[in-house]
Amino acid sequence: MCGIVGAIAERNVTPILVEGLKRLEYRGYDSAGLALIDVAGRLERRRRVGKVASLEQALAEQPLSGALGIAHTRWATHGVPSEANAHPHFSHDRVAVVHNGIIENHEELREFLKGEGYVFTSQTDTEVIVHLLHLRLRELGDLTLALKAAVQELHGAYGLAAICLDQPDRILAARSGSPLVVGLGLGENFLASDQLALRQVTDRFIYLEEGDIVELRRDSVQMWDVAGNPVQREVVRYHDGAEAADKGAYRHFMLKEIHEQPSVVQRTLEGRLGAQRVLVENFGPDAAALFAKVRNVQIVACGTSYHAGLVARYWIEELTGIPCQVEVASEFRYRKVAVQPDALFVTISQSGETADTLAALRSAKQMGFLSSLAICNVATSSLVRESDMTLLTLAGPEIGVASTKAFTTQLVALLLLTLAIGQVQERLEAGIEAELVEALRRLPTRLEEALAMDKVVEKVSELFAEKNHTLFLGRGTQYPVAMEGALKLKEISYIHAEAYPAGELKHGPLALVDADMPVVTVAPNNELLEKLKSNLQEVRARGGELIVFAEANSGLGNGPGTRVVSMPSIHDCLAPILYTVPLQLLSYHVAVLKGTDVDQPRNLAKSVTVE
Ligand code: G6P
């Protein structure tokens, strides 16, 4: 999704802005641009459709140099990806604005501003902001006052930054529904939608809160809260993840992130396991008292995070006997929900900024849930700030658009949650918690073993390079794992992939099975294995080619049309975490064979901050 970078300094800020945009590339975008007040005192810009590299090329051909600038990567919402729609947008060549989010009343504002004589040159909702700001500036004569007035008239979500030729001593920015962070330098200051964009220039950050307005000058930062009162926000030093925007020895971020799973799972477990139990205190000081009251769990999330929720439902109901519902956020937020008594509302999100998940949380607050808990990877995100409780996944920044390490750490966090509730309510079967705590401690090693299967999985991936359709099968907790495997394959290799609970095979998908449609099955050793074996027979009988991930002692063997990939043995409860890994590797290798853009698949964004 869109990204913002801004800088005010004594030196030329163009390289800082371009580097910042590159660091935001992981969010997905389709055009890029920057504007600055150049050394000759003109407001100039360069914009390009496509990658930041094209913008860099444009800057090489027509260089820009100046000490005050804003830059943007745009993911089209209103208006096609084009140079005219790319940010920064200008008004009368004096004011420039970049914006993330959506202005919902842009049509009325556009009509109003046309009436005031403004001429629009783009189809974007953003252009109303820059003309409105220009109008208020004409009336008030001061950019800071003008922005404060203009935001009062905007409905919707925005993180925005503005500069003005007549007041080249400042950058103005405002946040409402779309994250912004200030980066503090010495005699220079910066702004971005994600601190990752500024890691090359500072490690000191101030996170804007909802409704905040900030005025950045070279040597000062002034802020006002939603009520317009001057406010000081905490300065946070950021150390972790400095190296995350670097692929290291890996060819793609996705592969690097797949391989980070043992260590980030380890990190997510650190400090959270006692000798034989989960440390409930990690969920917050009131968690134990609150968990004692929980009679229902409602999970809401999007995409991969939703799949993590689906696995958790099996765990919660099986281990604690507490009913659990799971729903995608975009559905939950728009229907009349019958809230169960004493229900805990749980959101799962890597970014903590997904618009639908955040909106679901906000509406849940009006619905009478007992409390809200966020399972989230970004400590400073809106979701974390707005939830009653948080359990952070400590996956570190995830750059590949297709989520990998965020998912496995979410599963770990959800199992901790399950055990915490079960423990507090004494609902767990005797001995199971100690057994699972022990299994969790060994999980990083099991994940290493799964990663060691990389070469085998790479070989298997050759089967898929020429295929257009695939089917993923699983039973129990492996059904959501199959869903996640199918999602990964379609996201990055563009092969059509569907997941089915294996028992549903003969109720439809079997009709599709033939030699051109490989069937991938995740089959850990459990009470469902025998049933799964019959499903596999059904596939073989139709000439379908089978790829089965199973333990060596599963009784499943290679044969004509059947390829069994041997998995490390694992506690059945943790099998969904382990079996996810070879499916990630499989989709990665298929995508590499097909030559697709693994880290930034077409049409997809890492962080979906609009509906
Ligand atoms: C986008 C990403 C997915 C992610 C989903 C939910 O679609 O491409 O990888 O699973 O958003 O994001 P969240 O940050 O809320 O987990």
Q: Is residue 303 part of a domain?
A: yes
Query: How many angstroms separate the CA atoms of 125 and 289, rounded?
Result: 47
**Three-state SS for 501?**
strand
Range of the domain at 19: 3-237
Amino acid at 89: H
Q: Is 459 a catalytic residue?
A: no
pLDDT score of 228: 94
Give Dmax over CA atoms of the chain in angstroms.
80
Same domain, 290 and 359: yes
Return the pLDDT at 239: 65
Contacts of 420 (CB under 8 A, 6+ apart): 278, 280, 283, 287, 291
Q: What is the pLDDT of residue 271?
A: 73
335 and 413 fall within a common domain: yes
From 237, 271, 291, give the residue that closes a domain. 237
If one residue of 26, 310, 349, 354 were mutated to test the ligand 1 pocket, choosing by the most ligand atoms within 8 A of its CB, it would be 354
User: How many angstroms does the Cα of residue 349 sit away from the middle of ligand 1?
Assistant: 7
Q: What pLDDT score was predicted for residue 27?
A: 61
In a domain, 439, yes or no: no
Q: What gap in Å lies between CA 554 and CA 452, rounded to an integer?
A: 20
CA torsion through residues 245, 247, 252, 256, sign: negative
Q: Is the peptide bond before 88 cis (omega within 30 degrees of 0)?
A: yes
Residue 441 tokens read as 């401690």
- Euclidean distance between CA atoms 53 and 409, whole angstroms: 33
CATH of the domain at 178: 3.60.20.10
Residue 532: per-residue pLDDT:
77
pLDDT of residue 565: 92
Cα–Cα distance measured from residue 594 to residue 465, given in angstroms and rounded to the nearest whole number: 6
When divided into structural domains, the chain yields a total of: 3
Active site residue 293: no
Q: What is the CATH number of the domain that holds 554?
A: 3.40.50.10490
Q: Are residues 233 and 90 part of one domain?
A: yes
Instruction: Using most ligand atoms within 8 A of CB, pick from 75, 350, 405, 599 the residue to mutate for ligand 1.
Output: 350
- Please give the structure tokens belonging to residue 49: 């459709």
Among 237, 272, 301, the domain boundary falls at 237
Cα–ligand 1 centroid distance for 398 (angstroms): 11
In this structure, are 420 and 459 located in the same domain?
A: no
Kindly list the averaged pLDDT for each block of 10 residues, start to end, along the chain of length 611. Answer: 90 97 78 96 96 95 96 84 95 96 88 97 95 97 97 90 97 89 96 92 93 97 96 85 68 95 91 84 85 98 98 98 98 94 97 94 95 91 90 90 96 98 97 96 96 96 92 94 97 94 85 86 81 79 86 81 90 96 97 90 80 73
Structure tokens at 257: 């992130």
Contact 3, 33 (CB under 8 A): no
Do 469 and 419 sit in the same domain of this protein? no
- Whether 434 is covered by a domain: the verdict is no
Are 374 and 284 members of one domain? yes
200 and 259 part of one domain:
no
For the chain, how many residues are written?
611
DSSP letter, residue 559: B
Q: What is the pLDDT of residue 294?
A: 98
Look at residue 466 and give its three-state secondary structure: coil
Are residues 200 and 331 part of one domain?
Answer: no
Range list of H helices, 401-463: 405-424, 432-451, 454-461
Q: Are residues 473 and 593 in the same domain?
A: yes
| Binding-site residues, ligand 1, Cβ < 6 A | 302-305, 349-351, 354, 357, 401, 403, 604, 606-608
Q: In what order do the strands lie in the sheet with 95-103?
A: 89-91, 95-103, 156-164, 171-176, 213-216, 221-224
Tell whether 433 is covered by a domain: no
Say yes or no: 42 and 125 in one domain: yes
Q: Please give the pLDDT value at position 244.
A: 56
| Sheet order of strands, 371-376 included | 324-328, 296-301, 343-349, 371-376, 389-392
Tell me the CB-side half-sphere exposure of residue 98, using CA atoms within 13 A: 34
Query: Do 283 and 183 sit in the same domain of this protein?
Result: no
